[in-house]
Structures are given as structure tokens and as C-alpha cells.
Structure 1
Amino acid sequence: MNLYSTNNKDLRISFKEAVFNSMPQDKGLYMPVEIPQLDADFIKNIERYSLPEIATKVASALLKDEIPAEDLKALIEDAINFEAPAVKLGDKTFVLELFHGPSLAFKDFGARFMSRVMAYFLKDGEQLLDVLVATSGDTGGAVALGFLGVPNTRVTILYPEGKVSPIQELQLTTNGQNIRAIEIKGTFDDCQALVKQAFADGELNAKFRLTSANSINISRLIPQTFYYFNTYAQLKKHGLNDVIFSVPSGNFGNIGAGLLAYKLGLPVKQFIAATNINDTVPRFLETGVYETKPSTQTYSNAMDVGAPSNWIRIMDLFNNDISALKKVVTSYRFNDEETLAGIKEIDNKFDYVACPHTAIAYLAIEKFRKENPEDESASVFLSTAHACKFPDIFPEAIAAKIEIPDQVTALESLPRHADKLGIDFEEFKSYLFDKA
């Protein structure tokens, strides 16, 4: 598998190099030189395959001979050892539950796959691998659990002060071992900017072997394609062949993976990028002007991103042709008041408790249906996190329905630790050197 940079299409590096380098020095993002078309018979009969079998097929097509077939199969079976059920709520309405992994968020797919790929490629005696990750909520917990105890790795997680939920913060600060957390007095965009500056800093790169666990890393994106194919397999068992996906979108890695699956041959009629008031992409699709802005805190905190990193990948998939992109991608925005109304509506209609991110994806599906009443496709809205992570968002009657998983209860008794820094890069750089 060869990859290029979105800023330099003449560049050629291997998957292994991209995994460990994470981000090109030219500040683009890595993309595969070739996106193969999956075998038509596989798509036609996909309902016959399990999630690990589908994942192995998709990964093999992309990675080619980067990892031998049997090793890749074993790696996937270890990483993706939980389900992603498409739960039927209405006649053609499904919610895709992506929170059945250890951190209770969809990020487990990417983080667990990536940690095992890195461990596979790491050799005894090699320089310690320093993984830097910015999180707006769920990425950090998934990465922490994915890498906890992995030899020869050290993970540094940056998260914004006061802008992650209590359970999310526990998942970041109670791990110890090779995981450390830094509370940044700023926004997620500030955390992300510090990580990106670190990758571009010559002194840090001379001292440390830096890589990222954010969705800028191509090894995070690939495994997220698995559950789109697996969902289509589940729909086919219901006799459904046409599907629309509504994806809660912040840094746009999740919907980017869906669009990569589409380019691989997954027959999807439409993708909906559902955002909160951090609406850089909806504004772009409306006006043709891409203008980032500082992020604003909302109930759906994992989507509080004003400058989504993965948007350049999505544009690259469509050769920067906005008209071609708009044929496949629609985008809607919703505020906190609408989000809360969506949570109540899902509870009333389906007796189902949805996290705020999931509620936004549901609202987007409903809006699309009203605007396209003739479309009879199955609608799948992605549930990206367990509702227990957002206890303060729900009305009391709905909150009482939430079952708290055992792993969350266990976190509350663990000691927690986080260092505290501002948004100055030189301060962060000094921290990394001092803690070396």
C-alpha cells in the first residue's frame, strides 16, 4: 500500500511509514495512492460474513502485502472483538451502536486496530514510540485503553479544561503506566494545534519518535470503514439494499471513513454530515467558502471542532470537486435546544436513550426525509458513544433509564492524575523535554 500527501501527490511512502510518521512534514494528510474496488460478489453476498471476516477482507484489499494475511486476520480478531449492531427502531430506521468496545465509544475501532498495528511493526530495541493525541472527549479514552501496557510506547493525551464529561475525564486520567494526560486551558482546537506544531518541530522530532493517534493517522481511518460494510450486511438480512448514513461529525474522520468505504465499492445512496453549531462544513457546502472558526462548547462535546482536520481528506476523495461531493454528502447543523428535543423525541417514539451526538444524527435523518419524501432508502444514524458518558444532559426521567456499565463504576475508585498547561507551544515543548 503506497500513500501520498494531500499536499504532494508525487510523494510515495509505505503504510508502515505513514503509521509511525502520522502526518507529512508538508502538513497534509496521507491518502492511499490506489483505492481498489472490492469484489462485486463479496458485496452481493456480504450478509454471509461476520464483522471480523468483513474487516479482514476490506483491510486486505487496502493494505495488500503490508501485513501477511494470517497475521492481519489475527490482529483484527484481537482488535475488533466486540459487536456493532444496527438496531431496528422503525420500519426502515436503524441506529448503529458503535459503543460496545471497552471505552464505550466508536473510537475503539480505530484505536485498538492502530495500537495493534503499531505493536506489530515495532521491533525489540527500537526507540520508544511517543504517541501524541488531542481529544474533545472520546478519542483519548479509546486511545488510552487501546495502548495501555503496549510495550515500547508512551501516550500523551491533551484535553480541554472543563470541556469533557466527568466519565470521559476519568477514562483519560486514571490509567497510569504508559499513559499520561494533560489538561489544557483552552479548546480542543488549541489541543489539536499543539499536537500539529509538535509534529512540525525539528527539535522534538530529533529527540522523540513522534506519531499521532488522532484520526489524522491513516491507521485510525481504515478500521472505521469496517462497520459501514458490516451495517450494509445487516441491512441486507432485513431485505434492504438502499441505505443513507447520518454521521455525527466533528473532526470528520468518521464520515471520512464512510466515504472511503463508498469509494471502495459500498453502495450508499447518501451520507449526511450532522454537526452541532460548530458548522464549518455545513457553511462550506452552502456557500462554497471554507472558513474555520474557534470552536464553541455544546452538549455534543466530541463534535466541538471549528477546524476539522479530516475535511482535506474528504475533498481529496472527490478531487476537490465540490459539485461531485454535494451529490453524495448533505450536511445539517443543530443547536443544543434542538439536540435536547431530539433526545426526547427518540425516547418518546422508540423508548431509546441516545447520547447528544446520536440525537444530532437522528435529527439530520429526519430533516433529510422531510426534504426528500420520495426517498424510500433505509436510514441509519450512528450512535457514537454510550449515553452514560453525558449524565448532566438528560432530563431526569430519561437519565433514570441509563444502565451504567461495570467498567464505568470501576473507574470512580481509581486515583486520577493530569498535568496542567496553557496553550503556549513553547511551554508544551518544554514539558515534553522535561518529562523525557
Structure 2
Amino acid sequence: MRYISTRGGIQPINFKDAVMMGLATDGGLLLPESYPQISRQELDQWRSLSYPDLALRIISPFVDDIPVDDLKGLIQRSYATFNHPQVTPVVHRDGVHILELFHGVTLAFKDVALQLLGNLFEYILAERGERLNILGATSGDTGSAAIHGVRGKKGITIFILHPHGKTSPVQALQMITVGDANVHNIAIRGTFDDCQNMVKALFNDLQFKEKYSLGAVNSINWARVLAQVVYYFYAWLRVTDEGDRPVCFSVPTGNFGDIFAGYVAKRMGLPMGRLLLATNENNILTRFVRDGDYSLANVVATVSPSMDIQLASNFERYLFHLYDQDPGRVRAAFAELRECGRISFTPAEMEQVRADFCSATVDQAATLETIGSFNRETGYLLDPHTAVGVRAALDLLPSDAARVCLATAHPAKFGEAVEKAVGTPAPVPGSIAALAGMETRCTVMDADLEKVRQFVVEHVA
């Protein structure tokens, strides 16, 4: 399996090089040249597999440069850190299936990918005798999951940028209470888009990237998307075990990585309906699906902060497929975005988009109402991001389908919003309660690219 760039400027590379490159050296995102096809017969044979064994079946066709026994060990070690034997269990409540993705070390879906990515980094670095300086941006959950995926690992230093005061308090504490010497937190006075743009700018400075051995943990890293593909298959196998019926997934969406993993699963042959793309008020992607309007707007702070994003990095991967894998068309689209603040689409392209996705915007009032009503009716407590997906699913998806809603975080990570919705605090797991009073370490700075660059230079190992 070889990997290519959405912008067409690199020669095909192998999986390990794709993991280490992160963002392609031409500024594009990496994708496999093709997708393995999974037959219905294979799917039925996989029903009894454990999550790690299923992950090996799905991931291994994409990885032909790591011995299968080594890959199996990396996968098993990654998911041994989860606190549920099924890793991503599915529970049924009030006509929807909740795919619980929050049983990892930081209680968010990012752990599913970043525990594996951290182990892949360590494996490849040890093999090559190299070091890596990870640079990432987070709207809340990626940062803590990335930090916990690589803290204390040999050969790795990590720098995470997050918008100062715009994550939940728990999200911030999960990052800034990590005292390992290889961890550096940078709080930026600005938005997540400011953080992400600066990270991309440093990666696009190829001389700087090479000199300081920069690596990516954001979902611009293909390995993260690949790891997330697995739980779509796992959920499908759980909800179709009592008969064959349509399956639809509802995905609360910010940076488009999680829902793109579902798109990849569908391209691999997983039977499903249109993916439901659920947004909060930062709804550039909903405007795109519904109206063909992909135009930038100001970021609005909401009770679902991990979705407070306008410019979704992984959207470029989808565009590459929408444009029939034409890198010239991708480059032209992003030139238009830089010059005009928007991307325009043909009627034929929008017809394809609407065949792939449906979409809904769920505002803060509806989000809080959904947390409250769902809790009263079912006893189940949703976090605000998951509530966006559940509300959209109940409104848009057919009731005769298996409606699978991705639960992206434990409700205790967003305690203020949950308490406002239900009137009582969310139960606090011990790992979160232990954060109170811990020593913190974080550097606050303006959204100044050169200041961030200098900080990295001064703190690389």
C-alpha cells in the first residue's frame, strides 16, 4: 500500500513514512492510493472478533511495511489502556444506538487513535534511531489524548497549542497537569483556527520541519483516521446482529476527521446510509452540504467547544475524492479559498455531496434541551457534542434504521453544560477528580507564529 498527497506534489510513500510525514511536504494531506474492499461474507465472519482483533483485520491491509506480529502487538498494547473490555461498546437508548468512544485514558474518542499513534511513533523511531518533535493544535480533546499517548516515550517531545480559555476546564487540566519533561503546552490568545493555522504554517516551512524533525498528531496524520475507521465496522457488527436492516451514523463534526473515517469505511464496502454530519453554530460544513455554501465565518464559542471550528482540515481529503482524485482541482479550490474566502462547487459535485451526506445544525439551546430530555426519558447522560449528534439523528434519520450516534466524550468533561441541562452535576470519574489541585505547567502567548516558532526552537530536545 502506497500513500499519495491530495495536492499531487510527492512521490508515493509507504505507511511508516506516511506516519512520520504527517502533513505532506507539498502542503496536502496523505491518502492511500486505493481502499481495500471488504465483502459481506468477510463482515459476517468478523462478528465474534474482539475489538483489537477486528482492528488488526481492518488496519493490516493498509500497512505492508510492519510485520503483522509487530502490528498486532502495537494494537493490543494500545487498547489494553481502555477501561471497557469492548473498547468502544454500543448501548441502545430510546431508538438510537450510542457508540461510546470515551473509555480511553482521557475519556474522549481521540484516545482510540492517539494511543495507537503514540505506539507507532515509538516503534518507528526506535527502528530508525531517530527523534521526533510533535507539533499539534487542539480544540480540546486531541491535545490531552496526544499528550497521554506520548508522555514519557523515548525519542519524542510534544508541543500542543490550544485556544486560551476556550476549552472546557477539564480539557485544559488534562493537558496542563501532565508534568513529563517531554510535554509542552502553549495556550494561544485566539481561536482553534489560529492554533491550527500556525501549526500548518510551521509544517509548510519545509526547511524548519526537516531541521527540527516535526511530526503531526492532529487528524492531518493518516494513521489517526485509519484507527477511527475500525469503530464504524465494530458498531455496524453490533447493531446488525439481530437482523439485516439499514444502518446510519450520526457524527458530531468539527475538523471532519471522525466523519471522514466513516466515509472511508463506506468506500471499503461497509453497508450504510448517508453519513449525518451534525454541527453546532459553527456550521460551515452544514451550509456546504445543504446549500453548497463553503464560506468562512467567525468562530462562535459554544457549549460544545471541540466543534468550534470553521476551517476543517480533513475536508481536503473528501474534496480529493469529490474531484475524482484531481490534485490540480484541489489546489485550485484552496487558492480560491485564500483569495475569496469561499470555495464554489458545480451542480454535479453538490449532487454527489448530498448522496454522501445529510446535515443538520443544532444550536446551544437545542443541545442543552436534548441533554435534559434524553436524561429524563432514558436515564442516559449525554455530553454536549454527543447531544448534537443525537438531536440531529432523531430529527433526520429514519426510525426504521439502526441510528448509531457517536458519543465522543464523557459528560463529566463538560460538567458546566451538563449541570445546566439536567440540574445536577455529572458523575465525576476518579481520573478527573484527581486533577483538582495538581500542579500545572503551561505557557500563554499571543497568536504570533514567530513566537511559537521560537518557543519550539528553545525547547526541542
TM-score by length of 2: 0.90
Contact in 1 for aligned 2:419/2:425 (Cα 8 Å)? no
Partner residue in 2 for 1:198: 202
Partner residue in 1 for 2:458: 434
Distance in 1, matches of 2:25 and 2:218, equals 16
Contact in 2 for aligned 1:244/1:268 (Cα 8 Å)? yes
Partner residue in 2 for 1:220: 224
Name the SS for the 1:123 alignment partner.
helix
Distance in 2, matches of 1:21 and 1:149, equals 22
Distance in 1, matches of 2:203 and 2:112, equals 24
Pick closer, same or farther for the CA change 1:395–1:405 going to 2, 3 Å. closer
Contact in 2 for aligned 1:353/1:401 (Cα 8 Å)? no
Distance in 2, matches of 1:422 and 1:115, equals 29
Partner residue in 2 for 1:311: 315
Distance in 2, matches of 1:206 and 1:260, equals 30
Contact in 1 for aligned 2:176/2:185 (Cα 8 Å)? yes
Pick closer, same or farther for the CA change 1:268–1:9 going to 2, 3 Å. farther
Contact in 1 for aligned 2:158/2:184 (Cα 8 Å)? yes
Contact in 2 for aligned 1:221/1:256 (Cα 8 Å)? yes
Alignment partner of 1:392 is 2:420: no
Structure 1 residue 289 displacement after superposition: 3.3
Partner residue in 2 for 1:42: 42
Distance in 1, matches of 2:150 and 2:10, equals 33
Name the SS for the 2:202 alignment partner.
helix
Match of 2:360 among 332, 336, 358: 332
Structure 1 residue 55 displacement after superposition: 0.5
Contact in 2 for aligned 1:38/1:61 (Cα 8 Å)? no
Partner residue in 2 for 1:344: 372
Name the SS for the 1:245 alignment partner.
strand
Alignment partner of 1:135 is 2:159: no
Distance in 2, matches of 1:9 and 1:240, equals 44
Give unmatched runs, 5+ long, in structure 2.
325-348
Deviates more, 1:97-106 or 1:333-342: 333-342
Match of 1:154 among 150, 153, 157: 157
Distance in 1, matches of 2:254 and 2:421, equals 28
1:125-183 Cα distance to aligned partner (Å, 9 max, x none): 73420001100010011111111111000010100011011111111101122111000
Name the SS for the 1:277 alignment partner.
coil
Name the SS for the 1:87 alignment partner.
strand
Contact in 2 for aligned 1:189/1:294 (Cα 8 Å)? no
Partner residue in 1 for 2:337: none
Partner residue in 1 for 2:61: 61
Amino acid in structure 2 at the alignment position of 1:366:
L
Partner residue in 1 for 2:440: 416
Contact in 1 for aligned 2:25/2:206 (Cα 8 Å)? no
Contact in 2 for aligned 1:158/1:183 (Cα 8 Å)? yes
Distance in 1, matches of 2:58 and 2:202, equals 32
Structure 1 residue 215 displacement after superposition: 0.4
* Percent of aligned pairs with the same amino acid: 34
Name the SS for the 2:434 alignment partner.
helix
Distance in 2, matches of 1:406 and 1:399, equals 21
Name the SS for the 1:411 alignment partner.
coil
Partner residue in 2 for 1:6: 6
Partner residue in 1 for 2:121: 118
Distance in 1, matches of 2:41 and 2:127, equals 42
Deviates more, 1:390-399 or 1:410-419: 390-399
Partner residue in 1 for 2:75: 76
Name the SS for the 1:327 alignment partner.
helix
Distance in 1, matches of 2:99 and 2:355, equals 23
Name the SS for the 1:393 alignment partner.
helix
Pick closer, same or farther for the CA change 1:130–1:10 going to 2, 3 Å. closer
Amino acid in structure 2 at the alignment position of 1:433:
V
Distance in 1, matches of 2:242 and 2:102, equals 22
Distance in 1, matches of 2:215 and 2:411, equals 31
- Write the mapping of 1:209-288 to structure 2, written as runs, cut at 5 A: 209-288=213-292
Alignment partner of 1:89 is 2:93: yes
Amino acid in structure 1 at the alignment position of 2:278:
A
Distance in 2, matches of 1:231 and 1:66, equals 28
1:68-91 Cα distance to aligned partner (Å, 9 max, x none): 11111111111123311110113x
Contact in 2 for aligned 1:240/1:378 (Cα 8 Å)? no
Alignment partner of 1:354 is 2:354: no
Pick closer, same or farther for the CA change 1:323–1:266 going to 2, 3 Å. same
Structure 1 residue 319 displacement after superposition: 3.8
RMSD (Å) for aligned C-alpha atoms: 1.7
TM-score by length of 1: 0.95
Contact in 2 for aligned 1:294/1:306 (Cα 8 Å)? yes
Give unmatched runs, 5+ long, in structure 1.
none
Pick closer, same or farther for the CA change 1:240–1:101 going to 2, 3 Å. farther
Amino acid in structure 2 at the alignment position of 1:38:
I
Contact in 2 for aligned 1:245/1:379 (Cα 8 Å)? yes
Structure 1 residue 24 displacement after superposition: 1.3
Q: How many residues align?
A: 430
Amino acid in structure 2 at the alignment position of 1:280:
I
Pick closer, same or farther for the CA change 1:11–1:326 going to 2, 3 Å. farther
Distance in 1, matches of 2:194 and 2:321, equals 27
Distance in 2, matches of 1:241 and 1:54, equals 22
Pick closer, same or farther for the CA change 1:230–1:182 going to 2, 3 Å. same
